Amino acid sequence: MNGQLDQSTSLPLSLRALALPSFVAYHDEVARRAEKEGWSFTQYLSHLTELELGERRDRRVERFLRASSLPPEKTLATLEVSRLPAAVRRQLPTLCEGDFVRRAENVLAFGLPGRGKSHLVCAIGHELVKRGVPVLFTRAYALVQQLLKAKKELALERMLKRLDRVEVVIIDDIGYVQQDNQEMEVLFTFLAERYERRSVMITTNLVFSQWDRIFKDPMTTAAAIDRLVHHSLILELTGPTYRGEQAARRNCVGKTAQEGKETAKP
């Protein structure tokens, strides 16, 4: 009896020491089920192992999601897929599966403001996180300022190594804010470091012929484009602006409501 008590007390402690929280939580419950259904020792351990691995995956996804800075509202569930161009709709399922990440390819989303570029890449980012891929979402100007600050503090290499642990960096609105030469240099350094090793997803309203606004120098512009395009998927988002249509719908609803009030007046 004492041996049984000692074992029942020491087993959870041993499992905690081995960092097996699901074993700690479920070993008694699964043991009763195993005894009732006549499982073998192998079946019992296999079931507990599956529970442990499943919960570890869930915790890893939660951790990656918190670290990603992805806008929580911009998911695949809220994306109006029917509004996307047919070519983009066809590519979307494959992009969400993440094969491009394993090949260290880039995704470049082009389109005028309000066409849904940011929502699209964020939705893909959310799906990648669910598959256990580390993702970071950042506005282009914020990334550039962080890189520039690190360079001034002689910590740029350390920051690049930290970013290298992120398999996909989503850079939103590249070229939206005009940059000076120092800002351009750190952005180019970041992109060059990831070339053929890690993926970036970029949204921009500037076609390649306008990228000299970002990188200033023609040779640097050409080098940046060459590195990004060499292994890349290009998504062109066309059509009416989402925000414009939403505003038009709100105005229409407001006008209809006002007309209803006018009609109801005696």
In a domain, 257, yes or no: no
* Shared domain check, 95 and 60: no
* In a shared domain, residues 40 and 98: no
Same domain for 56 and 128, yes or no, is: no
Supply the range of the domain harboring residue 15. 2-67
Residues 93 and 163 in one domain: yes
Task: State whether 104 and 208 are in the same domain.
Answer: yes
Whose CA is closest to 76, among 27, 122, 35, 143? Answer: 122
| DSSP classification of residue 82 | G
Element (H, E) at 244: helix 242-264
**Are both 111 and 75 inside the same structural domain?**
yes
Q: How many domains are contained in the chain?
A: 2
* 114-146 per-residue burial string, b: 16 or more CB within 10 A, e: under 16: bbbbbbbbbbbbbbbbbeebbbbbbbbbebbeb
User: What's the pLDDT band for 1 if we cut at 50, 70, 90?
Assistant: very low
The answer to whether residue 63 is domain-embedded is: yes
Please tell me whether residues 125 and 53 are part of one structural domain: no
Same domain, 156 and 38: no
* Average pLDDT of the residues in 125-153: 96
Lowest pLDDT segment from 18-32, 131-145, 208-222:
18-32
Which residue did the predictor score with more confidence, 11 or 122? Answer: 122
| pLDDT (mean) for 19-40 | 82
